[in-house]
Amino acid sequence: MAAKRTILLGITGSIAAYKAADIASKLKGFGHEVFCVMTKDATQFITPLTLKTLSRHPVTVDMFAEGEGEWLPTHIAMADAADLLVVAPATANVIAKLGHGIADDALTTMALALRPEAKILIAPAMNSKMWLHPATQDNAKILRKRGVEFIGPEKGLLACGYEGIGRMWDVDKIVEKIRKMLV
């Protein structure tokens, strides 16, 4: 088993957000510290309370929220502590923001403030047309050039009723990839 590590789990506004609860639970089961950071849109799909219960840590939604007793802003303290940032699910919007250095919420600000040795894994989840759009593909290329790893998306029935590529990969495969990245 990999040594105990600190993982930031970023959750964005996708129907696949409910799967983040399972990711957090499994990573905790392997003994890792998991801190969840959600976009405001993600809270429409899953509650911070669910993730707080499973991670056993407060969930960050507001980038201006202060950690209890901390002198550093939460987004900086968490970015300093992280060994890995996992964005699962990752929307086209967040992939674009990360590709272009836009830091306008807690998740994207933490991503920009990560230590250089911290790794990033992105698990996209969106409609096929959005994933295959040249802008999204260009943004993914930019991130890959910077060493960001992607897992998925995969083909299948999408929540919108379409059949095609865009489903977030299976949670167990994502957790396995995370564990390999932490070795």
Q: Report pLDDT for 66.
A: 60
Give whole-number Cα distances, 45 to 12, 101, 141, 179, in Å.
9, 25, 28, 26
- DSSP per residue over 32-78, as a string? -EEEEEE-TGGGGTS-HHHHHHHHTSPPB--TTPPPTT-SS-HHHHH
Q: Report pLDDT for 77.
A: 83
CA 56 to CA 128: how far, in whole Å? 35
61 has pLDDT over 50: yes
| Mean predicted confidence (pLDDT) in 68-74 | 62
Active site residues: 160
Please return the burial class of 1, using the count of CB atoms within 10 Å of its CB with bins 0-12, 13-18 and 19+.
Answer: exposed
Label residue 1 by pLDDT band (50, 70, 90).
Answer: very low
Give the global pTM.
Answer: 0.93
60 has pLDDT over 50: yes
Residues 6-181, CATH architecture: 3-Layer(aba) Sandwich (3.40)
| Mean predicted confidence (pLDDT) in 20-27 | 98
Give the CB-side neighbour count of residue 83, counting CA atoms within 13 A. Answer: 15
| Mean pLDDT of the chain, nearest integer | 93
69 has pLDDT over 60: no
151 has pLDDT over 50: yes
Q: What is the pLDDT of residues 89-132, one digit of tens each?
A: 999 999 999 999 999 999 999 999 999 999 999 999 999 999 99
More confident residue, 138 or 163: 138
Max Cα distance, the chain (Å)? 48
156 has pLDDT over 80: yes
Helix axes 171-181, 19-29, angle to 10 degrees: 40
Give the CB-side neighbour count of residue 149, counting CA atoms within 13 A. Answer: 14
